[in-house]
Amino acid sequence: MTEDAVPQADIATVPSDIDDSVILLDVREDDEWQRGHAPGAVHIPMGQIPARMGEIDSTTPLYVVCQGGGRSQRVAQYLAQNGFSPVNVSGGMLAWAGAGRQVITDDGSAGVI
């Protein structure tokens, strides 16, 4: 699979309200997640994806995000090779926060990227 085979999403086209109709898969490390993440996102660090793919619904639209878009691109490629139809979020959580979208911590307070 070529790198171009995974669709890219500009932050403006990524849903800002994450609910059961869409999955925002955050593949950053635990410390990055704890500082701040998108409300409703699912957290599976990049290194755990192969062992935890069963936790991801392959029938739900899937956006993959990391800090800047590099790790999520690699994860999206891997998922695409394994029967998923992921979309990589260009610019990652930096773009999410830069667009003024909410960033929270696990307890619901304001987070940082």
- pLDDT tens, residue by residue, 56-68: 999 999 999 999 9
Q: Which residues are catalytic?
A: 66
Indicate the DSSP class of residue 106: T
Per-residue confidence (pLDDT) for residue 3, from 0 to 100: 47
- pLDDT tens, residue by residue, 66-113: 999 999 999 999 999 999 999 999 999 999 999 999 999 999 999 999
Residue in 43, 20, 13, 10 with CA at minimum distance from that of residue 111:
43
Residue 4: pLDDT band with limits 50, 70, 90? low
Rounded Cα gap, residues 61 and 23, in angstroms? 6
For the entire predicted model, the pTM comes to 0.95
Residue in 107, 84, 93 with CA at minimum distance from that of residue 29:
93
Indicate the DSSP class of residue 44: -
For 82, phi then psi, to 5°, come to -115, 25
Element containing residue 9 per DSSP (H, E): strand 8-9
Assigned CATH for 3-98: 3.40.250.10
Stretch 2-21: mean pLDDT, rounded?
88
